[in-house]
Amino acid sequence: MVQTVLIVDDNAAGVEWAMAALKALDCDLINTTSGRSALVTIRLRMPDLTLLDLHMADMDGFSVIRELRSDPATARLCIVAFTASAMSGDRVVALNAGFTEFITKPIGLAAFRGQVRNFLTVGHTTG
């Protein structure tokens, strides 16, 4: 069974990089560019892994994660903060908000693929 990875980012270059980086993993890659469309896509597709940017214009990643974690159907999905926010404490804030894990951008290609492969292999969910 092919696993699905959803990339949510309003930066087109970031989405293109992530899609190209993950192409070699033999998974179904989908993307969306807003928090609101992410909610719809996640509920329809129930991806195995969602890489969610924290800072988007229409609805930030924190609002998205709050809504998803409050819904029993999506509460345990693997949703990773994928963000350029790398200030001291950002990871803790994201994990406390309900993200499964935290990946900072920029990240090396091999490290990124390795982390994503691990999430897909382990099937890591919250809880």
Give all domains of the chain, ordered by start, each with its CATH number. Answer: 4-122 (3.40.50.2300)
Query: 33-66 burial, b for 16+ CB within 10 Å, e for fewer?
Result: bbbeebbebbeeeebbbbbbbbebeeeebbebbe
Q: What is the pLDDT of residues 29-64, one digit of tens each?
A: 999 999 999 999 999 999 999 999 999 989 999 999
Q: What is the pLDDT of residues 79-91, one digit of tens each?
A: 999 988 777 789 9
Inform me whether the pLDDT recorded for 28 exceeds 70: yes
Question: What is the structure's pLDDT at 127?
Answer: 47
Task: Read off the pLDDT band of 123 (50, 70, 90).
Answer: low
Inform me whether the pLDDT recorded for 21 exceeds 70: yes
Separation of first and last alpha carbons in the chain: 24
**pTM score, whole prediction:** 0.93
